[in-house]
Structure 1
Amino acid sequence: MPDDIKYEYRSVQAVRGLESRSIAKEQREGGWELVDQTHGTLRTTLKFRRVKPDTTLSKAWGVFRGLAPAKQRAVVAGMAILLLLAAVGIGTSAAKEKRDAKPTDSVALSETSAPSPPPSVTQATGQTSGSSPAPTVAEEADQIITPENNEEFAALLATTDTCGPSVADFAAKYHGRRIAFDGSITNLQQYEKYKTRYDILIGPGDAGPKTTAGPNFKYGNVNTIDLKFIGSSVPSSVSEGDTFRFVAEVGQYKPVQGCLFFLTPVSTTVR
């Protein structure tokens, strides 16, 4: 039917006076039919059309449209049944593949991942036997640093360069952490206004004012209460040469103030 014919269109620019050549070329090479032309000053716009070629889908649609309404409904119902059967077949095939795969997966699992025996637990400590697990970051941060568990701290207590880079590096790396060591008071300066408050320098070992190793650890503006003595022996005062077990929090290192390494007392025990 003429009303069912579908066309495709295209436009071509041709130089004025040479339109016939362009029209002949389009008719010869593409089967295009001239339907309109618009003349410009220098060029002419040529508009062509040709019957749009049929595709398989368009042909099928044409056949379908030519059927009687009753036959069209029958075709639609048949296609719906075919689609339903295809969906059921795909679902059944997928379920079968899943059932077939399960035994294989189970065998592979049993062959490759045998359960390990539970760790034994000692009744005395409540800890599992074998090697101890590595400490977590939080546990390591809570651990008190001593010369026995930290090589950097052991080297720091043995240094003879109180203004060396190792002192600044340690203060920066472990700022806010707690350290513990056996030491003595190397210098004690009493405040003139407050007779019970002191600036106290401490060092490792038992040599007191004769200490030659370790940084210039300082407790600034403290009294005996601030030293937080623990244990059965709590002195009422302190003096140069007294030996203690110091636990302190790492503070600032101030090289411009005589290379002082400030600490905050946590606890002090008489040795």
Structure 2
Amino acid sequence: MTAELPPDTHAETPVKYETMNVRAIRGLEARTRTKWEADGWEFVSQEQGTLRTELTFRRPKRPVPWKPLAVIGGVLVVAAIIIVVNVALAAGRDAAEPAASDAPSEVAAAEPEPTDEAEETPEPSAAPESVVLTAANNADLAALLTGPQDGPTVEAFASKYAGQTIEFDGSIGAMNTHEGYSTRYDILVPVGDYSETQSSGGPNFQFRDVNITSDLNLIGDVPNTIGVGTNLHIVARVGAYEPNSTLFLLEPVTTQVR
């Protein structure tokens, strides 16, 4: 009777070596051999040359640490799975909220794009026509009322403020019938209180072809008569300036005896 022997589980695995060649100066071979043997290398052989000797050493190859590598690989796989899951969840949230992502785009599209063209800045007007100009609120009128009787400054004011309303204190400096009519007059209106000897400055304002009752638009305490020397508070519209006669025409809005 025979019996089959079990396989030898303790058979040794062949040892694999790694080799190394070291060159040493002749006469120093023993020192070199001792050094490398102390580091775990096994001397195999040596081959002498003219000046140097080549020594061959070997040592068993270190086994690859498969277990730690397997653990590291497993960790990397788990990390990759977590990243993929997070990306998928984020994509799902983005798909579930289309309105929130689209709204900013629509707002941005509605905004006008800046252009390189210089924007035209409107020139400031002299003053709104509804504003009554006075020496207190308009520097040009203040300069006009104290300036010369004629010249470029008077012409410039008449052109710039044509049709606008001014307010100032004046007086009746002269009063003549207009072209022979008995009830219509050309009235010279100098600036300031009436004086036969002194001038307060300013142009020669004139109410031309006006009726005392209907055209001067008298307000306040109206006297029975007015004439040369009467001081007035005047609100009037700016008319034309006549350089030849140096008369600055005004259209009465309201006139009040002071």
Give the structure-1-normalised TM-score: 0.48
Per-residue deviation at 1:186? 1.4
The answer to whether the Cα contact below 8 Å between 1:147 and 1:154 also exists between their aligned partners in 2 is yes
State the partner residue of 1:227. 216
Deviations 1:176-231 (A, max 9, x none): 00001011111111347322221111111103444521101010111212111011
State the partner residue of 2:17. none
Deviations 1:46-69 (A, max 9, x none): xxxxxxxxxxxxxxxxxxxxxxxx
Q: Verify: 1:172 aligned to 2:141, yes or no.
A: no
Question: Alpha carbons of 1:194 and 1:99: their partners in 2 closer, same or farther (altered >3 Å)?
Answer: closer
Instruction: State the distance in 2 between where 1:94 and 1:137 align.
Output: 57
State the partner residue of 1:144. 132
The answer to whether the Cα contact below 8 Å between 2:178 and 2:208 also exists between their aligned partners in 1 is no
Instruction: State the distance in 2 between where 1:203 and 1:156 align.
Output: 12
Letter in 1 for 2:255: T
State the partner residue of 1:242. 230
Question: Alpha carbons of 1:187 and 1:94: their partners in 2 closer, same or farther (altered >3 Å)?
Answer: farther
Letter in 2 for 1:205: G
Instruction: State the distance in 2 between where 1:100 and 1:184 align.
Output: 75
Instruction: State the distance in 1 between where 2:251 and 2:195 align.
Output: 20
Instruction: State the distance in 2 between where 1:208 and 1:155 align.
Output: 21
Instruction: State the distance in 2 between where 1:196 and 1:210 align.
Output: 29
Q: Verify: 1:99 aligned to 2:100, yes or no.
A: yes
Out of 150-159 and 204-213, give the one that drifted further.
Answer: 204-213
Amino-acid identity (%): 42
SS in 2 for 1:140: coil
Instruction: State the distance in 1 between where 2:250 and 2:166 align.
Output: 9
* Structure 1 residues without counterparts, runs of 5 or longer: 1-89, 104-135
* Structure 2 residues without counterparts, runs of 5 or longer: 1-90, 105-123
Letter in 1 for 2:192: G
Q: 2:185 aligns with which of 195, 198, 211?
A: 198
Compare CA radii of gyration and give the structure with the larger one. Answer: 2
Instruction: State the distance in 2 between where 1:197 and 1:209 align.
Output: 24
Q: Verify: 1:253 aligned to 2:241, yes or no.
A: yes
Higher helix share: 1
Per-residue deviation at 1:99? 3.2
Per-residue deviation at 1:164? 1.5
The answer to whether the Cα contact below 8 Å between 1:201 and 1:216 also exists between their aligned partners in 2 is yes
Question: Alpha carbons of 1:184 and 1:93: their partners in 2 closer, same or farther (altered >3 Å)?
Answer: same
Give the structure-2-normalised TM-score: 0.50
Letter in 2 for 1:185: I
State the partner residue of 1:217. 205
How many residues were matched structurally? Answer: 146
SS in 1 for 2:128: helix
Summarize the alignment of residues 1-271 of structure 1 with structure 2, pairs less than 5 Å apart: 96=97, 98-99=99-100, 140-159=128-147, 161-191=148-178, 193-212=180-199, 213-225=201-213, 226-231=215-220, 233-256=221-244, 258-271=245-258
Instruction: State the distance in 1 between where 2:225 and 2:181 align.
Output: 14
SS in 1 for 2:207: strand
Deviations 1:74-131 (A, max 9, x none): xxxxxxxxxxxxxxxx9x956635436889xxxxxxxxxxxxxxxxxxxxxxxxxxxx
